[in-house]
């Protein structure tokens, strides 16, 4: 089988979620092609997905000595450095990607998440600005930028404006609406918060993954005797608690 075909087989196995089979294929391939940078790059991606972060970093570093890493692998390397405690190096790798024109909007958002995780929210905002510039109609960059603006200490009106921009681009997005309502609650603007929250239906509430937003909105619904939606929020909170899942809020 040609090298490109073997790469494709490994990648498809990795994409299918069968990580153990993918790792076996990658290792078998690299025993025969030790100087193939793309093979080491694939191994690094697979090991990261398996939670083997130190091994992933080693594989990606070896790949980088042979070939230029592709954008997704460079993001993965930045994440990997953070996972093994090398935060300064993680920040440097991820920050270097902000002005890289080869990165898609979605990858730039991942860069932002990684930079925020290593306590660099201003750089995360810069990544979001680049993402919004490359795709002005995408709502997520604006919403993420609002979160990072709050982390940077910007006035609440900045976060509110960015959240409203995201919501204007995706009015049915429950996370954006609940995040905005939660922010308004914290600003003691209960009527404005309820004006946003009362537009949420049952399916939308069940799609939210931010516990702190759900908690605040449940309290808001209870304060105005909207007990049906308050109960939906409490039930969703319980489900998230049982699943151990959560996401950041504004």
DSSP 101-139: TTS-HHHHHHHHHHHHHTT-HHHHHHHHHHHHHH-TT-S
pLDDT bin (cut points 50, 70, 90) of residue 219 is very high
The DSSP output letter for 98 is: T
pLDDT band at 248 (very low <50, low <70, confident <90, very high): low
Q: What is the DSSP letter of 52?
A: -
d(CA 41, CA 107): 17
CA torsion, ordered 146, 149, 153, 158, to nearest 10 deg: -60
Confidence band of 168 (pLDDT split at 50, 70, 90): very high
pLDDT confidence of residue 244 = 72
Give the per-residue pLDDT at 1: 47
Q: What does DSSP assign to residue 67?
A: S
| pLDDT recorded at residue 242 | 86
Query: How many residues are present in the chain?
Result: 250
> DSSP letters along 204-232, please?
HHHH---HHHHHHHHHHHHHTT-HHHHHH
Query: What tokens does 116 get?
Result: 């925020």
> Average pLDDT in the 71-97 region?
97
Q: What is the pLDDT of residue 246?
A: 64
CB atoms within 10 A of CB 98: 19
Average pLDDT over residues 222-249: 86
CA dihedral for 39, 42, 48, 50, sign (positive or negative):
negative
- Residue 197's pLDDT is 93
Per-residue confidence (pLDDT) for residue 245, from 0 to 100: 65
pLDDT at 2: 61
pLDDT confidence of residue 212: 87
Average pLDDT (153-162) is 96
Report the alpha-carbon distance of residue 52 to residue 74 in Å, rounded: 16
Mean pLDDT of all residues in the chain?
A: 93
Contacts of 205 (CB under 8 A, 6+ apart): 174, 178, 214, 229, 232, 233, 236
């Amino acid at each position: 089988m040609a090298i490109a075909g073997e790469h494709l087989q490994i990648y498809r196995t990795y994409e299918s979620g069968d990580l153990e089979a993918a790792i076996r294929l990658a290792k078998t391939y690299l025993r025969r092609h030790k100087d193939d940078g793309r093979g080491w790059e694939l191994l690094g991606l697979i090991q990261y997905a398996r939670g083997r972060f130190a091994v992933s970093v080693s594989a990606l570093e070896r790949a980088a000595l042979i070939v230029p890493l592709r954008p997704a692998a460079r993001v993965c390397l930045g994440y990997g450095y953070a996972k093994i405690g090398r935060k300064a190096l993680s920040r440097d790798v991820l920050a270097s990607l902000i002005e890289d024109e080869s990165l898609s909007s979605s990858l730039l958002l991942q860069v932002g998440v990684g930079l925020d995780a290593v306590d660099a929210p201003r750089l995360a905002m810069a990544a979001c600005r680049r993402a919004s510039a490359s795709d002005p109609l995408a709502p997520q960059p604006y919403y993420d930028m609002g979160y990072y603006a709050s982390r940077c200490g910007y006035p609440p009106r900045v976060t509110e404006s960015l959240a409203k921009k995201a919501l204007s681009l995706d009015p049915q997005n429950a996370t954006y609406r609940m995040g905005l309502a939660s922010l308004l609650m914290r600003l003691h603007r209960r009527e404005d918060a309820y004006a946003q929250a009362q537009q949420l239906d049952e399916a939308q509430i069940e799609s939210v993954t931010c516990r702190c937003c759900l908690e605040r909105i449940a309290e808001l619904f209870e304060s105005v005797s909207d007990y049906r939606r308050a109960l939906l929020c409490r039930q969703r909170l319980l489900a998230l608690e049982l699943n151990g899942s959560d996401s950041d809020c504004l």
